[in-house]
Amino acid sequence: MSPWYQASGNPFSTLPNLFTEPNPHVHASSRRKIAAAYSMTSLVRLEPLVDECTTILEARLREFASADQTFDLSLWMQCFAFDVIGKITFGERFGFLDSGADIDGIMASLTEYLNHCARVGVFPEWHKTLFRRKMKSRSLSGVPNIRRFASTHLEAKSAKTQLGEDKDGPVDIITRLLSIQSEDPDKIGKDEILSTAVMNIGAGSDTTSIAKLREEIASYEVNGLLSNPVKFAEAQKMPYLQAVIKEALRVHPAAGLILGRVVPEGGALLAGQHFPPGFGQGSRTCIGKNISLMEISKVIPQIVRQFDLVPDTTSGNRSGKRRMCGSSRRKISTVNLVYLRKRE
């Protein structure tokens, strides 16, 4: 594994970390323990939890539309993503859609952490030194804050499970893992479950395209092929919607750089090109990508079918901030504040 990944973990911790584990055999073993919980089959069973968050998001957007009030769309989509992760992981929303604000500073902590990973990943030999200094100066407070946030919710979830108060509705990821641990404590440990929760929180957000997408949505509605809220299986069958999603991810990927890899001994031949040892190897496919694909496929048509998004170009009231795009370090402008118009 490339040393680039090292910057994403605590260099002094002995706790398991699926993302930074360098040993391919240990990584494969750790991934197998939780992979079933992230399969598309398992996640589709959790779709009602996403629908709950979508309904709340719609209600908040209708409030903005009724008040003819501008709002930061990027913030609210991040609130949606956090609450979906809360429901899928712990069976409860974190409450971001209720507050419309950064609860416990977790958004800022995540941004701070990803900025550190992106910078130091390029120079992994500096990771231990910089990590130690930043932790002492508390300039990297995002790392313990994210873990503390996950640990608090995990403890609450464990208590509910032990009291038998968590039996109704779809089985979320942590409930599933706690059940496995209860049946066979040697199969998965508490630290591994906490690591999974941290990973979920930390990993787990053109007008012409919108017009054409609306045509597809309208066509599917007329033909009775679209539910309310939109089902994931229905969204997957909408070719233009899926093309829009893929193009958006191509232009603005979740990680805006090529993740480092290492070629095994003897080298590798790819598309007729020989790569010498030490260049790149192994699969590190995002284990939670199906969560994001389900979220995106459901929420985009749900918003586009009900609202017109109108940029606030008259008041000049723009956020004016610059945000870092996750671990990519690509600077992007925040979305201009927008108005919503309810569609008839």
* Residue 80 pLDDT: 92
* pLDDT exceeds cutoff 60 at 336: no
| Vertex 341 angle, CA 339 and 344, to 5° | 175
* pLDDT exceeds cutoff 90 at 210: no
Across 44-64, average pLDDT: 92
pLDDT category at 13 given cuts 50, 70, 90 is confident
Superfamily classification of domain 3-342: Cytochrome P450 (1.10.630.10)
* pLDDT exceeds cutoff 80 at 272: yes
Across 311-336, average pLDDT: 51
Q: Which residue has the higher pLDDT, 320 or 188?
A: 188
* pLDDT exceeds cutoff 90 at 233: yes
What span, in angstroms and rounded, lies between the C-alpha atoms of 296 and 245?
8
Domain-by-domain residue ranges, the chain? 3-342
The pTM of the full predicted model, rounded to 2 decimals, is: 0.77
* pLDDT exceeds cutoff 50 at 319: no
What span, in angstroms and rounded, lies between the C-alpha atoms of 301 and 314?
27
Q: Are 169 and 46 in contact (CB under 8 A)?
A: no
pLDDT per residue as tens digits for the range 94-153: 899 999 988 888 888 787 777 778 788 888 888 888 888 877 766 566 667 777 888 888
Closest by CA to 304, choosing from 203, 224, 235, is 235
Return the minimum-mean-pLDDT range out of 78-82, 120-124, 151-155, 280-284: 280-284
What span, in angstroms and rounded, lies between the C-alpha atoms of 199 and 201?
6
Q: Give the β-pairing of 322-324 and 307-311.
A: unpaired
